[in-house]
Chains A and B, each alone.
Chain A
Amino acid sequence: MKALLWRDLQLAIRAGGGFGLSLAFFLIVCTLVPFGVGADGGQLSRIAAGILWVGALLSCLLSLDRIFALDHEDGSLDLLATAPLPLEGMVAIKALAHWLTTGLPLVICSPVLGILLHLPGAAYPWLVLSLTVGTPALSMLGAFGAALTVGLRRGGLLLSLLVLPLYVPTLIFGAETVRRGLMGTEVTTPLVFLAGITFATLALVPFAAAAALRVNLR
């Protein structure tokens, strides 16, 4: 299992792995929004939490199709499926690798982009906390979407259509946490819901994703 995680991290970081692409995309989204809505600092600071969450979600989406597609093309997926490692475990590891190479960098960089968008000071801890809690669910659900579309030649667009509706609850509770933290109202409820969704996703979705992979392998 460690070997698989290590290989996926190595592949992401080496040339052609696309590491940093989603980070650059996140930066571009956060740069484009002020061009669209105007440079008024007050307005930006009101919508900053939402933009940062939506931006993180879209950047996460960008690299999802790589989770299984490359391994499917070069036959590694067949070989991994015959390995002693259960397919569910393999799915979880690959989702973890995806989170480490996209989700985690997004979490780390989000405060910097918060400055660009005039995010008020009180919101920063909640932004980082909610993204840390919420982004693993995005990677896991993305792995499910990637498993559904792995055999398709033009799966990328379809993948977004399948995965984005699944992201709705996470986005709502994540952005709500930041908004409430900003207003100084009680944040426990959305945060607990967010954590609940993430834990339930991590516990159950690997089974669905592994089932989808088995269908696509036969």
Chain B
Amino acid sequence: MSIWEYANPVKFLRASGIVLPWIVAGAALCTVVGLVWGFLTPDDYRQGATVKIVFLHVPAALMAINAWMMMLVASLVWLIRRHHVSALAAKAAAPVGAVMTLIALITGAIWGQPMWGTWWEWDPRLTSFLVLFLFYLGYIALWEAIEDPDSAADLTGLLCLVGSVFAFLSRYAVNFWNQGLHQGASLSVAPGERMSSVYRYPLYVSMLGFFLLFLALVLIRTRTEIRRRRLAALLAREHRA
């Protein structure tokens, strides 16, 4: 019994069908609890009530990056081990990751307006998220453009690989290009910089909620993709016969 058994579409459908309701329930619970709890926290002495957008902003930003990481791993699994479900999981994760990036960008703009007095600042973090969003768009567009599913999986996998290197490079290039206004990491490990536990615990719950939400959406989309591929495969077989 190994994890690779779930690369079989039928097994994947069966196993994911069992865990999916639990993940959806967990995602709903954690997101609602995290966001409501976050909303009920006291105002920050410096940032006032605006700080509460952090419970939306930080988890979305976190998942935006993690979604790309997951796509990278899934692409590598496809390119090396040729597991078809893996390629479809990478395809399924892209729009979810793109939306997470968009949420992080929009909430960042809404937060930035009262804090920095501007909707948009060419700050390194904001800029690298914009670049990440462009990478997501390119990746999704390439999947859509290629008809043959095997070629599409291979080519998008290659793009994801090369894109990861350049997204990483852009992150540092952008840092070099403009030192920004953005505060340091919200959950820095260095003592003293840490945010108060009043905010930290609801943020953890919210992050878990976003993670489960991402997982649920990716599973649902992967299952849809598998069924769509199965439909196409049966049609192709029919045409051939």
Contact = CB atoms under 8 A, between A and B. Distances in A.
Question: Per the CB under 8 Å rule, do A and B touch in the complex?
Answer: yes
Contacts, number: 78
B22 interface: no
Query: Which of A154, A168, A172 counts the most B-chain CB atoms under 10 A from its CB?
Result: A168
B131 A168 contact: yes
Task: Give the interface size bracket for A toward B.
Answer: 20 to 34
Contact of A152 (B138, B145, B169, B170): B145
Contacts of A161: 134, 137-138, 141
A215 interface: yes
A212 B138 CA distance: 16
Query: Which of B141, B155, B176 counts the most A-chain CB atoms under 10 A from its CB?
Result: B155
B158 A166 contact: no
B177 interface: yes
Contacts of A164: 134
Interface stretch (A72-80, A102-110, A143-151): A143-151
A57 to B, nearest CB: 14
Given A152-B146, A161-B137, A169 B169 contact: yes
Interface string A149-178: 101101100100110111011001100100
Given A165-B163, A172-B176, A190-B176, A208 B158 contact: yes
A193 B176 contact: yes
Interface residues of B, number: 26
A158 B142 contact: yes
B146 A197 contact: no
Contacts of B138: 158, 161-162, 165
A165 B176 contact: no
B129 interface: no
A197 to B, nearest CB: 7
B173 A173 contact: yes
Contact of B170 (A155, A162, A169, A218): A169
Contacts of B151: 151, 215-216, 218
B142 A169 contact: no
A149 B176 contact: no
Interface of A: 144, 148-149, 151-152, 154-155, 158, 161-162, 164-166, 168-169, 172-173, 176, 189-190, 193, 197, 205, 208, 211-212, 215-216, 218
13 contacts: A148-B159, A149-B142, A158-B138, A161-B138, A162-B141, A169-B169, A169-B172, A173-B173, A193-B176, A208-B161, A212-B154, A215-B154, A216-B155
Interface of B: 131, 134-135, 137-138, 141-142, 145-146, 151, 154-155, 158-159, 161-163, 166-167, 169-170, 172-174, 176-177
